């Protein structure tokens, strides 16, 4: 049986409850993303917020990921309707929307991913998302396969978490640990214990809403802790961090003692 070209496997797996293990792609070019795509992760985050990625860069990474059993998630640079439209048109189906602080912002993010009359996504029939017009009924089915994840990374977002999670069309809630800690006046290493408590409490609050929770950490023990707490989608590494760490360790291994 032919594969359904519109089916969003990440969204379906998230609804089943996970856990889904992910990896953060920030490096320029496609080779690092292709290596990660074949490494065995469930999902890859293609970042355009803290990475110099253009729409063309995202397109190429989506094309690379399509050849592997991995689900791409794309993070726009901002909760911006035009930016979101362009990412959807090149084939992104799952979006991680940064810095959502209010119900209104969450609703705007969802609306940007839906076609009228329910949303504000611009209509075009020959995009890569529709296989350049080759998918019958794309406009009728596209909305139901879009997955919207929102990031909580400020005190305001935390205060409004329950209401944000309840917005129709929000499929998951992601903790932005670094920004959330900074917005709450906490810094490393002095406030490590308070940051840990803040993050774990936020994950518990997300779980209480009934929506899947997610987070990024490069510390294995933390990732395992969050999974034990029930986090449904956890990113456990960042390509640039791994390259920097391993390159430095290799160079130092050959320095004179």
At residue 208, the pLDDT reads 97
CA distance 150 to 257: 48
At residue 2, the pLDDT reads 56
- Among the listed residues 5, 30, 49, 50, the single catalytic one is 50
* Cα four-point dihedral sign 28, 153, 196, 206: negative
Under 8 Å between Cβ of 151 and 171: no
Mean pLDDT of all residues in the chain?
95
Q: Which of 153, 152, 145 is nearest to 169 (CA)?
A: 145
Radius of gyration of the chain (CA): 18
pLDDT tens track for 168-182: 999 999 999 999 999
Q: Give the pLDDT mean for 106-116.
A: 98
- Helical H segments across 19-93, by residue range: 31-37, 55-65, 81-89
Q: Does residue 82 have an active-site annotation?
A: no
Superfamily of domain 9-253: Phosphoenolpyruvate-binding domains (3.20.20.60)
Pairing state between β 233-238 and 213-216: parallel
pLDDT greater than 80 at residue 257: no
CA distance 155 to 152: 8
CA distance 105 to 201: 23
Q: Which of 157, 149, 173, 89 is nearest to 124 (CA)?
A: 89
80-83: Cβ within 8 A, 24+ apart: 80/112, 81/108, 81/111, 81/112, 81/120, 81/121
pLDDT tens track for 198-247: 999 999 999 999 999 999 999 999 999 999 999 999 999 999 999 999 99
Residue appearing with tokens 């729409």: 55
Residue boundaries of the structural domains of the chain: 9-253
């Amino acid at each position: 049986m032919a594969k359904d070209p519109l089916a969003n496997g990440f969204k379906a797996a998230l609804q089943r409850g996970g856990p889904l293990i992910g990896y953060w792609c920030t490096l320029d070019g496609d080779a690092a993303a292709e290596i990660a795509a074949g490494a065995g992760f469930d999902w890859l985050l293609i970042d355009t917020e803290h990475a110099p990625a253009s729409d063309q860069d995202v397109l190429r990474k989506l094309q690379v990921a399509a050849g592997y059993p991995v689900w791409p998630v794309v993070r726009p640079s901002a909760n911006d309707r035009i930016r979101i439209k362009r990412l959807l048109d090149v084939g992104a189906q799952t979006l991680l929307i940064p810095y959502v602080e209010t119900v209104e912002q969450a609703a705007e993010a969802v609306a940007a991913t839906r076609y009228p009359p329910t949303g504000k996504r611009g209509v075009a029939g020959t995009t890569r998302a529709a296989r350049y017009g080759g998918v019958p009924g794309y406009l009728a089915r596209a909305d139901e396969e879009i997955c919207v994840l929102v990031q909580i990374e400020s005190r305001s977002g935390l205060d409004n978490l329950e209401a944000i999670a309840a917005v129709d069309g929000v499929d998951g809630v992601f903790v932005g640990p670094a920004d959330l800690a900074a917005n709450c006046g906490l810094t490393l290493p002095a406030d490590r214990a308070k940051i840990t408590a803040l993050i774990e409490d936020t994950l518990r609050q997300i779980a209480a809403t009934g929506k899947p929770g997610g987070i990024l950490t490069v510390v294995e023990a933390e990732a395992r802790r969050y999974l034990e707490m029930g986090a449904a989608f956890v990113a456990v590494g960042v390509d640039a961090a791994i390259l920097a760490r391993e390159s430095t360790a290799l160079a130092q291994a050959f320095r004179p003692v």
